[in-house]
Amino acid sequence: MTGERVHRTSHSTEVDAPAGIVYGLISDAVRWPLFFPPNVHVERLETDGTNERLRMWATANGQVRSWISRRVQDPGTRRVEFSQAHPQAPVDMMRGTWAVAELPGGTTLLTLLHDFTVHGDRAQDVAWVERAVDTNSRAELASLRGLAERWTRLDDLVLSFEDSVHVDAPAELVHDFLHRAGDWPRLIPHVSRLDLTEDTPGVQVMAMDTLTADGAVHTTESVRICFPHAGRIVYKQTTTPALMEAHTGEWSVVSGENGTTAVAQHSVVLREDAVERVLGPGADLTQARRYVREALGRNSTATLELARRHAESVVRAG
């Protein structure tokens, strides 16, 4: 510490849900990208059930930031303490607490506290961090409140699934096709437009127009985190189609004795108030789940098939 002032913020919200449900949503940080708008991806590096170390990616004032977070969970007091081990500039130190308190009548008070210092304590840098903390904290609390208050229906609102394709070619060729998303408009028929930037190596920000089976155009915006040595690309849609409140996914390729398996995984939170607007009067969550499963599965399987053809054609040409 070099004398910078410690800045403190506090954000709270009352949640009409049991405290145990609220704490459960906070404790499972790996699912935060699906539940919290700012969070893009979370990798759990180690945990003993109480202490954990996480690599986190999230948006802050429109930028994708990454850091290592150490967390200590205390389910007895329903508190989670956290601190950033390697914060990104201009932050020098960032730590805080999630506190869940049971209120009379079965509701819950959720409080999120932050303490931070800024390198040099310059006013514009402090204002930047304060704006990021305030915007993200408000978004996280609002999203968590909305999810917790629908906890009895979460099993109907959330769905996860995957599709896979066998490829008679090395995993690297398949991964290369999936990684070069900027080329997709000329390689994938259902992608009509794709704008991609990669200011930080391995972090891709893209906007894409895709065609549905009925000819409609869906515009999405995503952040992709690429792990080429592991054959993985994880992503979070930051702008989703109307029927989805949140959508995260992963492309992965795995080598085996008999070739390569390419997998597309999806996790979705449905937007319940859009079901009838999108699917028509009388439509319900069961129909919405089926529609989303078929639409996402159809497009991602088509992409995997094209990746297979690309990889196998390179092998044959070689």
Which residues are within 8 A (CB) of 280 and not within 5 positions of it... i.e. 6 or more apart?
none
Do 61 and 128 contact (CB within 8 A), yes or no? Answer: yes
- Alpha carbon dihedral 221, 170, 310, 237, in 10-degree steps, equals -10
Whole-structure pTM value? 0.93
Within the chain, strands assigned E span 7-15, 39-47, 51-60, 63-74, 79-84, 91-102, 108-118, 158-167, 191-200, 203-211, 217-227, 232-239, 244-256, 259-270
Beta carbons of 82 and 69 less than 8 angstroms apart? yes
Q: Could you tell me the sign of the dihedral formed by the alpha carbons of 289, 27, 54, 35, in that order? A: positive
Contacts of 169 (CB under 8 A, 6+ apart): 259, 260, 308, 311, 312, 314, 315
Q: Dmax over Cα atoms in the chain, in whole Å? A: 71
Q: What is the pLDDT of residue 1?
A: 45
Going from the first residue of the chain to its last (318 residues), give the mean pLDDT of each consecutive group of 10, the final group possibly shorter: 82 98 96 96 96 97 96 97 93 97 96 97 96 98 97 96 97 96 93 94 95 81 96 96 96 93 98 96 97 94 96 84
Closest residue by Cα to residue 263 from 218, 209, 300: 300
Helix H segments across the chain? 19-27, 32-35, 123-148, 154-157, 171-179, 184-187, 275-279, 285-317
Q: DSSP letter for 38, please.
A: T
Cα angle 34, 40, 46; round to 5: 90
pLDDT at 305: 97
Token pair 């915006």 in the structure block, residue: 221
The answer to whether residues 157 and 289 touch, using CB atoms and an 8 Å cutoff, is no
User: Residue 257: its pLDDT value, please?
Assistant: 86
CA distance 140 to 15: 13
Please list, in sequence order, all residues whose beta carbon lies within 8 angstroms of the beta carbon of residue 111, skipping any fewer than 6 positions away. 10, 11, 12, 97, 98, 99, 101
- Report CA torsion sign: 274, 275, 280, 281: negative
Residue 232: per-residue pLDDT? 98
Distance CA 303, CA 159 (A): 21
